[in-house]
């Protein structure tokens, strides 16, 4: 039986990304054969792995769903301060984990999956995967300010300059923004840097998957054709 690192095993079970798995292990929430797991530990399919006392096992089939997140839902595994988390609103027979976040005050497309390899591939910033948003702000943005947003904005709070991106005016105070990175509250911080406040933010595309006419609060499984296209776009076989 092949040994694999525990964080990779947890990701393959759809529990979380490898990075988040490392935190679960560090926090003592993972056990292997009844013993608290250690960082860097390896396991085989014969080992009994549990998270928070619940047994987990590798998935036999890959699932990705598209969910139209309403405002107010917090995209997190567990948060004692959140009134409503994504775990509270998604009722699916297989445990799924989000591939990328969307802040509480934003709405729109979230992908959830039981495939940790997909989560890793989709969330790596160096892969430049696109996410598309419709953004409404409180005051119109000038052409010069649009060029500033497109070319990269220095975010003082994060001490980083954003990557170049696509920004298109589609209304007096409404803009289409396409990013290839996912900094914390990035779009809100970018517009704040030019003196605007975001009134509404809606994500309408993640990589190759579009929100389409999916209603707020509803989800759907991706079709086989969508899965093949999505996996191909992140360099994985489906």
pLDDT digits (tens, 9 = 90+) for 194-226: 999 999 999 999 999 999 999 999 999 999 999
Distance between CA atoms of 57 and 49, rounded to whole angstroms? Answer: 7
pTM beyond 0.75: the answer is yes
- For residue 194, what are its two tokens? 């030019």
**Active centre residues (catalytic):** 103
The structural domains of the chain, ordered by start, are 4-56 (3.10.290.10), 64-125+212-233 (3.30.70.580), 130-206 (3.30.70.1560)
**103-142: per-residue pLDDT in tens?**
999 999 999 998 888 888 888 777 889 999 999 999 999 9
- Helix extents (H) in the chain: 6-12, 18-26, 86-89, 116-123, 143-151, 186-193, 224-233
């Amino acid at each position: 039986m092949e040994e694999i690192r525990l964080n990779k095993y947890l990701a393959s079970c759809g529990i979380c990304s490898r990075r988040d798995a490392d935190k679960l292990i560090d926090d003592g929430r993972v056990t292997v054969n009844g013993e608290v797991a250690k960082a860097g530990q390896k396991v085989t399919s014969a080992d009994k792995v549990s998270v928070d006392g619940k047994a987990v096992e590798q998935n036999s089939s890959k699932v990705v769903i598209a969910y139209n997140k309403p405002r107010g839902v917090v995209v997190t595994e567990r948060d004692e301060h959140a009134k409503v988390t994504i775990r509270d609103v998604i009722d699916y027979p297989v445990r799924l984990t989000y591939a990328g976040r969307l802040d509480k005050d934003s709405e729109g497309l979230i992908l959830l999956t039981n495939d940790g390899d997909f989560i890793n591939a989709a969330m790596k910033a160096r892969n430049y995967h696109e996410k598309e948003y419709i953004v409404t702000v409180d005051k119109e943005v000038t052409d010069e300010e649009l060029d500033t947003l497109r070319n990269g904005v220095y975010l003082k709070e994060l001490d980083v300059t954003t990557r170049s991106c696509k920004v298109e005016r589609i209304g007096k105070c409404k803009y289409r923004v396409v990013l290839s990175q996912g900094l914390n509250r990035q779009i809100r911080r970018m517009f704040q840097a030019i003196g605007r406040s975001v009134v509404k933010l809606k994500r309408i595309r993640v990589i190759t998957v579009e929100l389409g006419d999916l209603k707020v609060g509803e989800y759907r499984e991706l079709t086989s054709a969508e899965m093949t296209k999505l996996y191909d776009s992140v360099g994985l076989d489906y």
